[in-house]
Structure formats: structure tokens, C-alpha cells
Structure 1
Amino acid sequence: MKKLLILSFILLVSVIATACGTSSNEQETTQGSEGTEESSEEQAPEIPVVEVTFESDPLPVEEETTIQATVTQGGEPVEDAEYVDFEIWNKQDGKDNSTTVESEHVGDGVYEITHSFEKAGTYEMFAHTQVGDLHTMPKKTVQVGEKMFMEDEPSETSDDEQGHGDGKFMVHLKDKQDFKAEGSSDLVTHINKMEQPFKEAMVRYEIVSDQLDKHEYIDAEETNPGEYTATFTFPTTGSYTVKVHYEKPDEEIHGHQEIEVKVQ
């Protein structure tokens, strides 16, 4: 009888210990899973915020003036942006005649350039900003000199805002002046919608030129949020048109941007 009682007690202790171990493991697993989810959410970086400011309005003609971009992320100044480049063009002349100026970091998340405008008019600019894997390019308009009332201004919708669907799109082909013939070239385009990366889109490059027998099409891959990359070998030097097609059929978004490039 004693042996039977002892055996029963041992079995009971074993069952309780197993149950406790299982409960503890389940709790740890649950907590671990929750921790992973929280960690994943915490690791998602916020979109950088870029505020462009000018010394005056209107800006002077043929005088150096300072233009600043204050970059923050999560409310904190960004001191290590990969770059902040200002792409500037006269609205009448068109974006094909733009000038890009690299900024200098002066502290507290402020990046600045000095620039002299050769003539009066309405100017537009992108503040191309790269922070980690995230790219944003807010667009600003500024008056230089006195506005001429007879000035023939283009439509408010520029080439960079082509496309169907809600909101404005900005399309920027990176380093468009650095393509070389007979070598593999990276086509890197940033697409923003309402100054936010246009993510998870279908993007395709169409290459058109007299140097080609036919139009070439290359599917792009999203390498960073809103950044789409593909490679192409330009056969000869000359002028090419790169058409960036972007779409989200489920949202009825279809658009394209044509960009002229010079291949050396």
C-alpha cells in the first residue's frame, strides 16, 4: 500500500511540474512574440521632415542668397543626412534647364546653400534629401525679383506631377548626367506621392532613342521605400529618353514621367 501511495505521489508531482513548465514556456513564447512585434514596430523609421526657408521674399537678382533646409526625423534634428541637394529651375525655362547645388551641413539639422539667381522670375526647386534608406523631395516655389504681370507661366501641373489618381506625384531620376556608354548603368528613381515615398508600386523603365532599334523595357525593383532600381547598358553616346512608368492597378493609379538624359 505504501509503495502504491508513493508511486501515485511521484506521478502527481511529475504531472504538475510538466504543466507548470508548459505554461511557463507558453508565456515566454507569447511574451517573446509580442516583444518581436513591438521591436519591429519600433524599428520602422519615420519619414524625414524637410522645411525649406529663404532669406527674403522675393529673393534678390544677381546677388548671393542663402537657402536652408531644416531636416528632422521623429522631431529630432538629423545631423547625418547622406545628402541634401537643391535642384533649382526657372519656371519659364522648364525643369530640363535645372541646376543642382549640393548643400553644406551647418549644425542642428540645418543644411544650406548660397546661390545667385541670374534673372527675375518664378523659380521652383526640389530639396532632394536622403536619410538612411528614406528619400524625400519637398517642392518649393519662390519669386526672384519683382514679378512681371505679363509673365507667361506654364500650367500649375508640371511634368513631375503627371499621372492619374489622387494626389501629386514627384518623380526624380538620380544622377541623370552620369551615364556612360557600353557600361552597365544604374537607373535609380525616387517616386513620392504628397511628399511621402510611393511604396509597393509596379515600376518599369522605357528607353527610347535613335540609337536603339526599338523601345527597350526594363522592370525595376523597389530597393528602398519609394526607390526603384534597374540596370541598363546604353550602346552608344547620345541623347536618350527614359520614361518611368509607375502604377498601382488596384488603386487605379497609372502615371509616367519622361526624362531626357545625355550618355557620354
Structure 2
Amino acid sequence: MKKLVVGMLIILSILAGCGSKQDTTNDEIDFLDVDLTINPEKAKLGEEVTFSAKVTYGDEAVEDADEVKFEVWRSQSENHEEIVVKHKENGVYELKKSFSEEGTYYVYAHVTARGMHNMPKKEFVIGQPSEPETEDGSHSMKEQHSDKASSDAHNH
């Protein structure tokens, strides 16, 4: 009985030690964080839209990222524009752009710094929204069904 209690105490102290080591390790690990904002998220044709990526590593503003670029495209288009941007101030990288075609658009902020890559994505609208992309970036179900319906009509 005494050996069982001692054995359990040893196991508990080992588990407790592992837990505390794990906690201090997590405190020391920093990650590359990118806060992507779009202003305004619903703009008019020709109105300037500001894309901002606030880049931090832990509590530190990253002013020397290896690369920051914005990838912008209209929903369901295969034409993606990639624009490299420079640091503005306090870890903020910024792009100002206007659009000549209405619709639903997307932007990725591709950020590489401190040996890491982060690429948040956001949706925005210029004028009237268009058919959004599905989660995997393909065409919507409505289009897939209409294609199927037209092929079914040809088969009958």
C-alpha cells in the first residue's frame, strides 16, 4: 500500500512538472499576427479603398517584413492582381486602390516575416454585390446547377 501511494505521488509530481514546463514554453512562443482591415468595406465605383495590414510578432510591431503584398480579385474571376506594399508606420502596411467594376471582391494580405507566413482573407463590395465565391473558391452552387440543368435539357 505504501509503495502504491509513493508511486502515485511520483507520477503526480512528474505530470505536474510537465504541465508547468508546457505553460512557460507557450508563454515564450510568439506568432506572426496580421490584422487586415478594409475601409470602406462597401465602396462606390471609383471610390478609393484603403487596405491595411497591421503586422505584429508577439507585442512587437513588424516594420521589416520580408514581403507584404495584397492579392485582390473580383469574385469568380481568374485574374488576381498582386501588389507589393511597403511599410508605412508602426507595423502597418497599406494600399489605396479604386475599382472600375461593381461586384463582390476579395483580398488576401500575404505577409512573410520572422520565418513565418500569414495570409488573412476578407471580402468587400464595390457598388452592387455580385455572386460570391464558395468557401473553396469555386463557382457557386447556383451556377453549377444551371450548368447541369442546361446539359440535362440537351439530353432529353
TM tier relative to shorter chain: 0.5 to 0.7
Corresponding residue to 2:52 among 58, 63, 68: 68
Corresponding residue to 2:106 among 89, 104, 124: 124
- How far apart, in 1, do the equivalents of 2:90 and 2:75 lie? 32
Q: 1:92 to 1:158 in 2, by over 3 A?
A: closer
Q: Say if 2:66 is the partner of 1:82.
A: yes
- How far apart, in 2, do the equivalents of 1:154 and 1:132 lie? 32
Structure 2 length-normalised TM: 0.64
Query: What secondary structure sits across from 1:143 in the alignment?
Result: strand
Partner residue, 1:19:
none
Q: 1:154 to 1:54 in 2, by over 3 A?
A: closer
Provide Cα deviations, 1:17-44, integer angstroms capped at 9, x if missing partner.
xxxxxxxxxxxxxxxxxxxx99xx59x7
Matches within 5 A, 1:1-264: 41=25, 46-93=30-77, 96-147=78-129, 151-158=130-137
Structure 1 length-normalised TM: 0.40
Q: 1:106 to 1:152 in 2, by over 3 A?
A: closer
Larger radius of gyration: 1
- How far apart, in 1, do the equivalents of 2:86 and 2:47 lie? 19
Unaligned residue ranges in structure 1 (runs of 5+): 1-36, 160-264
Q: Is the 8 A contact 2:70 2:84 kept in 1?
A: yes
Unaligned residue ranges in structure 2 (runs of 5+): 1-20, 139-156
Q: Is the 8 A contact 2:42 2:124 kept in 1?
A: yes
Deviation at 1:115, TM superposition (A): 1.2
- How far apart, in 1, do the equivalents of 2:64 and 2:132 lie? 38
- CA RMSD across the alignment: 2.3
Partner residue, 1:242:
none
Q: Which runs of 4+ in 1 moved over 6 A?
A: none
Higher strand share: 1
Q: 1:56 to 1:156 in 2, by over 3 A?
A: same
Q: 1:146 to 1:76 in 2, by over 3 A?
A: same
Deviation at 1:45, TM superposition (A): 5.1
Query: What secondary structure sits across from 1:97 in the alignment?
Result: coil
Provide Cα deviations, 1:82-139, integer angstroms capped at 9, x if missing partner.
111000110132xx31000111211111000111212111111110000121011111
Question: How many aligned residue pairs are there?
Answer: 115
- How far apart, in 2, do the equivalents of 1:87 and 1:64 lie? 17
Query: What secondary structure sits across from 1:106 in the alignment?
Result: strand
Higher helix share: 2
